[in-house]
Amino acid sequence: MGSKEDAKINMQIVNKLASRGINNPCKVTVSSNKGEVTLTGTVQHAHQLKAAEQAATGITGVRRVHNQLVVKVEKRM
């Protein structure tokens, strides 16, 4: 698997996360290398941690997901 496949995986995961509401103000970075996906950044709710991992796992070509996301609630003024 090369960089084209990894770029395709990244795009599919980002789109799937957005469709599940895991987007702004969540800050998730997706990177993959030969089908090994790493999710880093922050989400607003604990349930989004597992949802993000499940979204990534369901993409064709993903062999493994390393979920390094943390919950960070934005402070409201």
Residue-wise pLDDT for 3-12, tens only, equals 899 999 999 9
Amino acid at 69: L
Q: At what angle do helices 46-57 and 3-19 cross, to 10 degrees?
A: 140
* CA–CA separation, 45 and 12 (whole Å): 22
Task: Respond yes or no on whether the N-terminal peptide bond of residue 25 is cis (omega within 30° of 0).
Answer: yes
**Length of the chain (residues):** 77
pLDDT tens digit sequence for 36-70: 999 999 999 999 999 999 999 999 999 999 999 99
